[in-house]
């Protein structure tokens, strides 16, 4: 058994689905762990799965490109899964119609807070200019954030990092912060998860129920648009300011 | 949209994703194609007046495993471990602090606006 197993790990003879299989097994394990922990936020399945997967990639000295190639099918399913979010949203249509304006307002305030707080804290702690540009769009989904970063001159890879960390930390802390604020309304909880932690937060919100998840999907969509409109304005303002400083 | 079971429903989802991509390309709106596809499907369901059973079942299956579907891109963190150790303090402080402030600001705003009885919500 063991020599055969070792042979599997030789990169060239590696069957094409080994990482897909590994990812599914790791994910199932992560879900079990999450259940056993009583849905503890730090046992978030995305966090535990990714930690194990990265560990496996490092141990086996596998390139990320090789890994991604084999699990691409999961990544491709993210598109139809996003479209599918329309179905739970449709189930909330009556509430959605009534709340469209408040939700829009909350998304604008949330996006502005996300941009200003992240860039502000980063700037205070001496983050590099590249990191600041990557922090600005971090609350949106990956494709939106990378699009914004490219528009403002940020690095796509660094933006991917801030987006991922934001999703994980928002999903982990969201429930605790909201409970601390004594917010139990599924609409508010869901919308906050989507606004602060995009797809990872939305996945977490669906664990709380269908209504929570539906409004998270909505928050994610609204935030994408609001952030895409706000970030270029902020970057422009900062540039103008640094030019005036340079002129003096 | 009825009939065709899971495969039919899946084809519909892909079709709406495709339509979403087309709309985004045409309008240059700053939204990803699938998100636009979600909006288009929502409008289609509103026009139709109900969600087909097979579409509901397929959607539920996909959404239930949303966390699995974000793993391939999230594992891309492995490429950024250097950056993570170089600038860990401003990075984690901005991400964690920013998340807490964003959660609080969004929640407070939404709660305040929703519980405002004077203004007609519409």
Q: B20-63, pLDDT tens digit by residue? A: 999 989 988 777 888 889 889 999 999 999 999 999 999 989 98
Model confidence at A237: pLDDT above 70: yes
**Is the interface score ipTM higher than 0.85?**
yes
Residue with tokens 């985004």: B24
The CA distance from A91 to A84, in Å, is 12
Backbone angles phi, psi at A230, to 5 degrees: -85, -40
Mutation site, B66, B82, B118, interface A, largest A CB count within 10 A: B66
User: How far apart, in whole angstroms, are the C-alpha atoms of residue B37 and residue A83?
Assistant: 5
A54 and B94 within 8 Å at the Cβ level: the answer is no
Cβ–Cβ contact A139 with B under 8 A: yes
Q: What pLDDT was estimated at residue A38?
A: 84
DSSP label of A39: S
Burial of A119 (0-12, 13-18, 19+ CB in 10 A): buried
**Confidence grade of residue B122 (pLDDT, cut at 50, 70, 90):** very low
Which of A70, A76, A79 is the best substitution to test chain B (most B C-beta atoms within 10 A)? A79
- Contact check, Cβ <8 Å, A82/B38: yes
Q: What is residue A150's predicted lDDT score, i.e. its pLDDT? A: 75
- Output the average pLDDT for chain A: 88
The conformation of residue B119, written as its DSSP 8-state character, comes to S
A178 touches chain B (CB under 8 A): yes
Per the structure block, which two tokens stand in for A163?
């987006």
Q: Comparing A48-57, A181-190, B38-47, B113-122, which segment has the lowest mean pLDDT? A: B113-122
Q: Kindly provide the b/e burial profile for residues A65-84, where b requires at least 16 CB atoms within 10 angstroms of the residue's own CB.
A: eebbebbeebeebbbbbbbb
From CA B73, how far away is CA A135, in angstroms rounded? Answer: 18
Instruction: Give DSSP secondary structure letters for A44-80.
Output: -HHHHHHHHHHHHHHHTT--HHHHHHHHHHHHHHHHH
Which chain A residues are within 8 Å of B109, Cβ to Cβ? 105-106, 109-110
Q: Is the pTM for the entire model greater than 0.90?
A: no
CA distance linking residue A237 with residue A241, whole number of Å: 6
Q: Give the pLDDT confidence of A104-117 residue by residue, as tens digits.
A: 999 999 999 999 99
A156 in contact with B, Cβ within 8 Å: no
* A109 part of contact set with chain B, CB < 8 Å: yes
Residue A244: phi and psi, rounded to 5, are: -65, -40
Average confidence (pLDDT) over A29-58: 92
Which contiguous run of DSSP H or E holds residue A26?
helix A18-36
Mean of pLDDT values over A81-108: 91
DSSP class of residue A140 equals S
Residue A194 Cα distances to A164, A214, B73, angstroms = 14, 9, 18
How many angstroms away from the CA of B16 is the closest CA of chain A? Answer: 7
| Residue A190 near chain B (CB below 8 Å) | no
Neighbour count for residue A178 (Cβ, 10 Å): 22
Rounded to whole angstroms, the maximal C-alpha distance in chain B is: 55
B104 vs A contacts (CB less than 8 Å): 177, 181
Whether pLDDT at A17 is above 90: no
The alpha carbon of residue A3 is apart from the nearest alpha carbon of chain B, in Å, by: 28
SS (H, E, C) B40-72: HHHHHHHHHCCCCHHHHHHHHHHHHCHHHHCHH
The confidence score (pLDDT) of residue A1 equals 47
Residue B3 pLDDT class (50, 70, 90 cuts): low
Q: What is the average per-residue pLDDT within B85-96?
A: 94
Set of chain B residues whose Cβ sits within 8 Å of the Cβ of A199: 66, 70
Residue A176 CA to residue B103 CA, distance in Å, equals 10
How far B5 CA sits from the closest chain A CA (Å)?
15
């Amino acid at each position: 058994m063991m020599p055969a197993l070792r042979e599997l790990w030789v990169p060239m003879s590696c069957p094409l689905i080994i990482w897909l299989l590994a990812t599914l097994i790791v994910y199932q394990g992560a879900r079990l762990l999450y259940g056993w922990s009583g849905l503890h936020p730090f046992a978030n399945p995305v966090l535990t799965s990714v930690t194990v997967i990265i560990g496996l990639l490092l141990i086996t000295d596998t390139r990320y490109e090789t890994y991604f190639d084999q699990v691409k099918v999961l990544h491709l399913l993210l598109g139809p899964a996003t479209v599918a979010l329309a179905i739970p949203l449709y189930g909330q249509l009556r509430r959605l119609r009534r709340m469209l304006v408040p939700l829009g307002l909350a998304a604008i305030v949330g996006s502005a807070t996300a941009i200003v707080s992240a860039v502000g804290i980063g700037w205070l702690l001496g983050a590099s200019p590249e990191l600041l540009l990557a922090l600005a769009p971090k609350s949106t989904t990956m494709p939106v954030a990378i699009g914004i970063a490219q528009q403002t001159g940020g690095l796509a890879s660094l933006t991917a990092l801030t987006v991922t960390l934001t999703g994980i930390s928002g999903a982990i802390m969201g429930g605790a912060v909201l409970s601390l604020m004594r917010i139990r309304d599924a609409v508010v909880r869901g919308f906050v998860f989507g606004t602060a932690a995009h797809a990872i937060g939305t996945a977490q919100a669906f664990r709380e129920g269908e209504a929570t998840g539906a409004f998270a999907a909505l928050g994610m969509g609204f935030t994408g648009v609001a952030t895409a409109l706000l970030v270029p304005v902020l970057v422009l303002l900062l540039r103008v300011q640094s030019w005036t400083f340079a002129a003096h | 949209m009825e009939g065709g079971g899971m495969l039919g429903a899946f084809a519909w989802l892909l079709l709406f994703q495709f339509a979403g991509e087309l709309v985004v390309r045409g309008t240059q709106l700053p939204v990803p194609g699938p998100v636009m596809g979600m909006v288009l499907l929502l409008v289609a369901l509103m026009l139709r007046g109900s969600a087909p059973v097979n579409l509901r079942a397929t959607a539920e299956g996909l959404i239930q495993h949303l966390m699995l579907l974000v793993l391939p891109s999230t594992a891309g963190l492995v490429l950024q471990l250097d950056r993570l150790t170089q600038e860990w303090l401003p990075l984690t402080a901005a991400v964690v602090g920013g998340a807490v402030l964003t959660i609080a600001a969004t929640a407070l705003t939404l709660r305040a606006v929703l519980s405002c009885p004077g203004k007609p919500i519409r």
